[in-house]
């Protein structure tokens, strides 16, 4: 756990970058510091690893005051990833990744094995990339190396300063996804600086919105920052389209789902008509004997045959999807509803535009401050 306790930084010229910031970052969670340019995000981050010395307050990592620690020792326990990666141009990718392990006196063999493991982990095949030099990589690949290097000595804490800021939006999204997957497995304590609210709500377990001078205006879950901004500044910063953004950070919950009329595979056209008549939709979902989705059947079945006509069901999402993904699927298939499935493609229920709206409202009620 990282605790900032009344931390401040006044530069020698008298300018105050951070006035009085208190914030706790729970162990294993990712906190995104977000705010407009010049509000003190980078200064705050650099005070944690003492690239900048605070002029007031205390910073504790697992109860230990960082200002009492030896700065070099301290930095070895803290991974640091910055936008312009800062790879050494004349060293191979493998050598870059093993910088800290080498400083720590690891054997060549162990450091090499670790580098290969990490390159693999960030999606770079070591056989292809380990012996290349930084200029032989794309911007996105260099950022991955930056992440691998920061993780090399398996530090419990990671500080990331706009790490994906220098790449185009599509690569950035891919890097964010990859990083989320890594973080899911590694559960580092991460402080992540960005000026991009979308990135902050996508990655952060919690989001800290800062105004000029490191003034903490809201520190909350992404859904709460978007759904109930603490003041005008936060509302403006998260944007007028925050409602749309909320879709992306609100997961589907089984309680949000509606029940749909269901028939088993092998049912007759008459069964479909009967089941649909008992509900207010002109269709039924078809499942097999294990409740797995098999398709859907329109209530209007061809005349003259009692065999049920089943159509393939494409508008589906996994239960781990967000409301945004569900909405996108609904639009893509021009469907009035999507089926929500578990890992075994068993039907959990359906989501309609109405239930989607209700789910969004629910998410704000839950996260609204008491």
Ligand X SMILES: Nc1ncnc2c1ncn2[C@@H]1O[C@H](COP(=O)(O)OP(=O)(O)OP(=O)(O)O)[C@@H](O)[C@H]1O
Sheet holding 157-161, edge to edge: 78-82, 157-161, 189-194, 30-34, 206-211, 215-220
Shortest spacing between CB 160 and ligand X, in angstroms: 12
Rule CB under 6 A: say whether 15 interacts with ligand X: yes
Return the range that interacts with ligand X (CB under 6 A); candidates 39-47, 84-92, 293-301, 321-329: 39-47
Shortest spacing between CB 166 and ligand X, in angstroms: 13
Shortest spacing between CB 11 and ligand X, in angstroms: 3
Nearer to ligand X by Cβ, of 39 and 100: the residue is 39
Rule CB under 6 A: say whether 21 interacts with ligand X: no
Q: At what angle do helices 353-367 and 242-249 cross, to 10 degrees?
A: 90
Let me know the angle formed at the C-alpha of 24 by 161 and 70, rounded to the nearest 5 degrees. 65
Nearer to ligand X by Cβ, of 195 and 264: the residue is 195
Rule CB under 6 A: say whether 49 interacts with ligand X: no
d(CA 122, CA 144) in angstroms, rounded, equals 6
Counts of helices then strands in the chain (DSSP H, E): 15, 16
Which one among 4, 30, 34, 43 touches ligand X, defined by CB under 6 A? 43
Q: What is the DSSP letter of 205?
A: S
Which one among 2, 7, 17, 276 touches ligand X, defined by CB under 6 A? 17
Return the range that interacts with ligand X (CB under 6 A); candidates 11-19, 60-68, 111-119, 230-238: 11-19
Residue with tokens 């509606």: 258
Rule CB under 6 A: say whether 38 interacts with ligand X: yes
Rule CB under 6 A: say whether 50 interacts with ligand X: no
Judged by CB under 6 A, the chain residues 99 through 158 that form the site for ligand X are none
Which one among 23, 31, 32, 41 touches ligand X, defined by CB under 6 A? 41
The terminus-to-terminus CA distance of the chain in angstroms comes to 25
**Helix spans in the chain (H):** 41-48, 71-76, 93-97, 99-103, 108-121, 126-129, 139-151, 169-186, 197-203, 222-227, 232-238, 242-249, 269-277, 323-332, 353-367
Return the range that interacts with ligand X (CB under 6 A); candidates 30-38, 127-135, 315-323, 327-335: 30-38
Rule CB under 6 A: say whether 40 interacts with ligand X: yes
Buried b (16+ CB within 10 A) or exposed e, 277-311: eeeebebbbbbeeeeebbbbbbbebeeeeeebebe
Judged by CB under 6 A, the chain residues 147 through 206 that form the site for ligand X are 195
Shortest spacing between CB 127 and ligand X, in angstroms: 37
Q: How far is CA 156 from CA 74, 78, 120, in A?
A: 11, 7, 20
d(CA 60, CA 75) in angstroms, rounded, equals 14
Shortest spacing between CB 123 and ligand X, in angstroms: 27
Rule CB under 6 A: say whether 42 interacts with ligand X: yes
Shortest spacing between CB 335 and ligand X, in angstroms: 41
Rule CB under 6 A: say whether 11 interacts with ligand X: yes
Residues that bind ligand X (CB under 6 A): 11, 13, 15, 17, 35, 37-43, 195
């Amino acid at each position: 756990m990282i605790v900032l306790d009344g931390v401040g930084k006044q530069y020698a010229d008298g300018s105050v970058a951070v006035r009085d910031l208190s914030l706790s970052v729970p162990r294993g969670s990712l906190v995104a510091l977000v705010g407009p340019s010049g509000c003190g995000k980078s200064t705050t981050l650099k005070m944690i690893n003492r690239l900048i010395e605070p002029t007031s307050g205390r910073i504790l990592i697992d109860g230990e005051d960082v200002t009492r620690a030896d700065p070099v020792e301290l930095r070895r326990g803290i991974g640091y990833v910055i936008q312009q990666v800062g790879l050494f141009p004349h060293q191979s990718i493998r050598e870059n990744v093993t910088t800290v392990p080498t400083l720590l006196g690891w054997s060549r063999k162990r450091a090499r094995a670790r580098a290969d493991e990490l390159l693999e982990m960030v999606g770079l095949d070591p056989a292809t990339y380990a012996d290349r030099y930084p200029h032989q990589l794309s911007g996105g690949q260099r950022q991955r190396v930056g992440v691998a290097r920061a993780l090399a000595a398996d530090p419990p804490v990671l500080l990331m300063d706009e790490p994906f800021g220098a790449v185009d939006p599509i690569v950035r999204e891919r890097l964010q996804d990859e990083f989320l997957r890594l973080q899911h497995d590694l559960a580092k304590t991460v402080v992540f600086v960005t000026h991009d609210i979308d990135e902050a709500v996508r990655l952060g377990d919690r989001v800290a919105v800062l105004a000029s001078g490191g003034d903490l205006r809201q520190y909350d879950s992404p859904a709460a920052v978007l759904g109930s901004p603490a003041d005008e500044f936060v509302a403006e910063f998260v944007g007028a389209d925050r409602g749309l953004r909320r879709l992306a950070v609100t997961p589907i919950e089984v309680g949000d789902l509606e029940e749909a009329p269901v028939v088993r595979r092998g049912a007759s056209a008459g069964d479909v008509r009967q089941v649909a008549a008992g509900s207010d939709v002109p269709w039924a979902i078809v499942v097999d004997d294990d409740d797995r989705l098999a398709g859907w059947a329109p209530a209007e079945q061809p005349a003259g045959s009692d065999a049920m006509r089943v159509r393939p069901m494409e508008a589906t999402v996994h239960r781990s999807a967000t409301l945004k993904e569900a909405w996108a699927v609904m639009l893509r298939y021009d469907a009035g509803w999507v089926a929500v499935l578990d890992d075994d493609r068993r039907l959990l229920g359906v989501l309609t535009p109405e239930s989607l709206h209700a789910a969004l409202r629910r998410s704000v009620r839950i996260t609204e401050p008491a």
